[in-house]
Amino acid sequence: MRMQTDDLAWPAFALGMTGAECTVVSPPELRDLLGEWAQRFGRAAAGPGA
């Protein structure tokens, strides 16, 4: 998928909503953002005190 945007949160959200596996080729900043989100959602999924 190709997308032009000023805010990488939108493509990250769009990719997440597809429910499909994906590989981010570029930009590296999108990979970084997805990594941050993965950690955040991972902590949320683990529950309190995990």
Task: Evaluate if residue 40 carries a pLDDT over 90.
Answer: yes
pTM: 0.83
Q: How confident is the model at residue 7 (pLDDT cuts 50, 70, 90)?
A: very high
pLDDT at 2: 86
pLDDT at 1: 82
Tokens of 15: 């990719």
Q: How far apart, in whole angstroms, are the C-alpha atoms of residue 8 and residue 15?
A: 11
Of 14, 6, 8, 16, the closest CA to residue 33 belongs to 8
Task: Evaluate if residue 50 carries a pLDDT over 80.
Answer: no
Q: How confident is the model at residue 49 (pLDDT cuts 50, 70, 90)?
A: confident
